[in-house]
């Protein structure tokens, strides 16, 4: 029995600096994470950018072995029941996960599970009796990727969240990864969401062909760049409909945009169904190299979660400035839109476009359709114009842009994509669309200064991915709408 005279909260001395080492130590001790703040910041209520939550967490695949009935207003099913194979090859119960779904995903996953229905649990080690109540079992064929906080004393996952179906992993290969170290999911942590990027076997034809005239950037060096950024880039593009810009003869030659698979693409390029059409997609690092083999330079991904193309999971605001505007005007605009988004409980992330401007991207839960998302993003752009009509415009007409920055909210329309994080741009000098930390915006000299040629040096000096926790703490856009009223 707990002694009531023992303190419920223990105060620890302040630790100044070495934040990464502190978080690493916390994760190795299987703590949930660390909360830190800027030393000069005040102690105030509410969410501010002066405080940082660095959470520890795990991520791995599990076999789906069943599901429970839904409760309340929820449809299709309540939770997925999960399992893995132990060292003896037995399928054992690993717990349940009921978050990470929207209405579209619930319907899709339920439809797939129905095809594998069976009357009894497929596990060799029966789940606890309390977990068997109201359970529906399926033959272990489907594999789900799960993010979770750790393991309980009963060897069940804790605080799990569904990330997606992994169609590239056979159910028979799924085991518990007992040796994995908790991966950080904080803004300052190494990306925990990237799939493993095994060495690609895609062979390049004409690897020595110069892709960007006036540089030493060849087809091979372009592939090397995408290999370099694959771990950070893949979480934002895998299993999503893609649009690529291909230059068969390099920049300066003919180009065309491609969304659909034609002919016989290299291995690694697959199809994904979105509505009545099938679009191009990739599942891993080999797919990136396959796109290079196809002479694709720019990679654009839909802003929607895998398997749910009708509901966006991010908002994109493209700051497109008049060509004569100074860079300081553009960075100031980025800060102003950041403050508006934070005021309505959204969490904005920043990246260069590789062109003239900046992209501000806010992750959201996929709970609304494209039209609702576009209407909300339009209201944010119009608020910017209302505040400073002489500096901003929400009208795409060229005549309205003189001396102003166009707040392009139209990127939030279905099939209206923008350059993916880390994508190369088909522009002079081979610039890339590089994610940056908000705190570094003042040191950035322009939106096209990080290029294929200097990317390795840039990333070496920026070892922490500023978008590492993009997928954590997503916001329901309906809550943001209410906060804006």
Instruction: Let me know if residue 91 belongs to a domain.
Output: yes
The model carries a pTM of: 0.62
Residue 413, C-beta contacts closer than 8 angstroms, at least 6 positions apart: 370, 374
What pLDDT is attached to residue 449? 94
Looking up residue 137, the CATH number of its domain turns out to be: 2.40.50.140
Helical H runs in 388-471?
A: 455-460
353, 423 contact by CB (below 8 A): no
On whether residue 53 sits in a domain, the answer given is no
Residue 89 included in any domain: yes
Burial 80-116 (b: 16+ CB within 10 A, else e): bbbbbbeeeeebbbbbbbbebbbebbbebbbeebeeb
Tell me whether residue 230 is in a domain.
Answer: no
Structural element, H or E, at residue 419: strand 418-419
Q: Classify residue 415: in a domain, yes or no.
A: no
Length of the chain in residues, anyone?
Answer: 485
Position 81 in a domain: yes
Give the pLDDT of residue 227. Answer: 93
Does residue 206 sit within a domain?
Answer: no
Cα separation, 377 vs 373, whole angstroms: 6
DSSP structure class, residue 426:
S
| Residue 195 DSSP label | P
Residue 116, phi-psi category: left (phi > 0), alpha (psi -120 to 50), beta (remainder): alpha
Residue 439 lies in a domain: no
- Tell me if 93 sits within 8 A of 83, measured CB to CB: yes
The domain tally of the chain equals: 1
Per-residue pLDDT of the chain in tens (485 residues, 90 and over written 9): 344 455 555 556 677 666 666 766 666 665 666 777 777 677 765 555 567 666 667 888 999 999 998 887 788 999 999 999 988 888 999 999 998 888 888 998 999 999 999 988 999 877 887 777 779 999 999 999 998 888 887 889 988 889 888 887 789 889 987 644 444 433 333 333 334 333 456 889 999 999 999 999 999 999 999 999 999 999 999 989 999 999 998 998 899 999 998 877 888 899 888 878 889 999 889 999 999 999 999 999 999 987 788 999 999 999 999 989 999 999 999 999 999 999 998 999 999 999 999 999 999 999 999 999 999 999 999 999 999 999 999 998 888 889 999 999 999 999 888 999 999 999 999 999 999 999 999 888 899 999 999 999 999 888 889 998 898 768 889 888 887 77
Helix then strand count (H, E) for the chain reads 9, 23
Contact 108, 57 (CB under 8 A): no
Query: Cα separation of 261 and 276, whole Å?
Result: 15
Nearest in space to 132 (alpha carbons), one of 92, 91, 81: 81
With residue 320 as reference, give the H or E element that holds it.
strand 314-321
Query: Which domain covers residue 152, as residue numbers?
Result: 58-184
């Amino acid at each position: 029995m707990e002694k009531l005279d023992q303190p419920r909260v223990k105060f620890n001395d302040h630790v100044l600096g070495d934040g990464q080492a502190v978080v690493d130590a916390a994760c190795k001790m299987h703590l949930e994470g660390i909360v830190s703040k800027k030393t000069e910041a005040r102690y105030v209520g509410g969410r501010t950018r002066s405080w940082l939550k660095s959470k520890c967490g795990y991520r791995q695949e599990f076999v789906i072995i069943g599901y429970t009935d839904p409760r309340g207003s929820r449809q299709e099913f309540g939770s997925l029941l999960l399992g893995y194979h132990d060292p003896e090859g037995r399928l054992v119960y690993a717990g349940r996960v009921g978050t990470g779904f929207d209405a579209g995903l619930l319907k899709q996953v339920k439809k797939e599970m129905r095809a594998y229905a069976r009357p009894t649990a497929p596990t060799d080690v029966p789940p606890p009796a309390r977990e068997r109540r109201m359970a529906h079992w399926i033959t272990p064929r489907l594999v789900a990727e799960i993010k979770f906080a750790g393991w309980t004393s009963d060897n069940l996952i804790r605080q799990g969240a569904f990330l997606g179906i992994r169609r590239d992993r056979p159910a028979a290969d799924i085991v518990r990864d007992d040796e994995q170290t908790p991966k950080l999911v904080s803004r300052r942590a190494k990306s925990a969401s990237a799939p493993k990027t095994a060495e690609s076997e895609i062979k390049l034809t004409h690897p020595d062909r110069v892709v960007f005239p006036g540089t030493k950037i060849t087809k091979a060096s372009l592939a090397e760049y995408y290999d370099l950024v694959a771990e950070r880039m893949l979480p934002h593009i895998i299993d999503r409909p893609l649009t690529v810009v291909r230059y068969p003869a390099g920049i300066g030659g003919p180009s065309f945009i491609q969304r659909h698979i034609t002919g016989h693409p290299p291995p690694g390029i697959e199809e994904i169904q979105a509505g009545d059409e099938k679009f191009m997609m990739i599942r891993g690092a080999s797919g990136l190299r396959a796109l290079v083999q196809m002479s694709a330079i720019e990679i654009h991904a839909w802003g929607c979660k895998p398997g749910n193309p009708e509901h966006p999971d991010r908002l994109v605001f493209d700051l497109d400035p008049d060509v004569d505007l100074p860079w300081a005007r553009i960075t100031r605009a980025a800060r102003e839109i950041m403050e508006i988004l934070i005021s309505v409980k959204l969490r904005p992330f920043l990246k260069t476009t590789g062109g003239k401007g900046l992209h501000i991207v806010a992750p959201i839960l996929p709970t609304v359709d494209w039209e609702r998302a576009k209407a909300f993003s339009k209201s944010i752009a119009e608020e910017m114009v209302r505040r400073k009509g002489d500096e901003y415009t929400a009208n795409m007409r060229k005549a309205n842009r003189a001396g102003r920055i166009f707040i392009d909210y139209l990127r939030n329309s279905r099939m209206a994509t923008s350059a993916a994080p880390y994508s190369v741009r088909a522009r002079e000098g081979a610039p890339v669309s590089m994610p940056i930390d908000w705190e570094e915006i003042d040191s950035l000299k322009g939106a096209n200064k990080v290029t294929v040629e200097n990317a390795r040096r840039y990333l070496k000096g920026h070892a922490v991915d500023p978008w590492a926790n993009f997928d954590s703490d997503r916001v329901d856009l309906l809550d943001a709408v209410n906060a804006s009223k």
